[in-house]
Amino acid sequence: MRGRYDAPRPFVLGGPLTPAVKTLLIANVAVWLFQIVAGFLAHVRVDRLFGLVPYDVTHNLFLWQLVTYMFLHGDLFHIGLNMLALWMFGTELESLWGTRRFTRFYFITGAGAAVCTVLASWNSFVPTIGASGAIYGLLAAYGILFPERTLLLYFVIPIKAKYFVLILGLLTFWSSVTASGGGVAHVAHLGGMVFGWLYLRGGGGTGKGLRFPSIRDWSERRRQERLKKKFKVYYRDTRGRDEPEG
């Protein structure tokens, strides 16, 4: 199925920085550096207060954690992968939607992932940190809107975006079901994807005329594309037979 905004591009590898993506990149790196400095100099665990701790949310009403956890990260590998994905997929989505709609989508999917995490383990004291919930929401949106784009799995294996997101979703779901102890983060990932899909399917809350394309819209466009291709083939064949000989 070809999405509304698909264009013939061989591989996807980011694009020019857009305003919201640039701001998010700077904010995440700045907070990560602050975490390091605070932990090294003052021995303060920032993640205990601003990370997502389900027990604190349900029992102490630390509701800010539903958002602030997205800006905290562990090691360089953790923040590096998340920021790479934010750049790779976020720039095109922001260019398509605009800064306001992109920012709204990012925070709604991130907070939605946090809600899923809290519901899955409301008595847990283990903090969850990272932008992965929102990033998985972006991946879901990208797979829906650009299903035919080719991504590089592990930067080596070419795969269509729709299959990439499907495989990622199935693996995340299986991990969240089977994992013991460490499955909380997988629930956040899956929650980000689910909230991203629901948000797109419901129109994005943008009002009449600004609604994201629905699945029915994409099916209709796919049908129209097929008819156009059939007409082009028919026209090309009949034109050759009908033209007078020289």
Tokens of 140: 């879901």
Phi/psi of residue 43, nearest 5 degrees: 55, 40
Contact 12, 88 (CB under 8 A): yes
DSSP one-letter string for 42-103? S---HHHHHSB-HHHHHHS--TTHHHHGGG---SHHHHHHHHHHHHHHHHHHHHHH-HHHHH
Contact 81, 74 (CB under 8 A): no
Characterize 72-82 residue by residue with b for buried, 16 or more Cβ atoms within 10 angstroms of its Cβ, and e for exposed. bbeeeebbeeb
From 73, 176, 186, 189, the catalytic residue: 189
Alpha-carbon distance of 9 to 204, in angstroms, equals 27
Alpha-carbon distance of 174 to 157, in angstroms, equals 22
For residue 128, what is the DSSP state?
Answer: B
- Give the residue from 133, 73, 64, 72 showing the smallest Cα distance to 105: 133
- 43 is known as an active-site residue: no
From 124, 132, 176, 186, the catalytic residue: 132
Alpha-carbon distance of 198 to 193, in angstroms, equals 9
Alpha-carbon distance of 5 to 228, in angstroms, equals 17
- 132 is known as an active-site residue: yes
Question: Active-site residues: which are they?
Answer: 132, 189
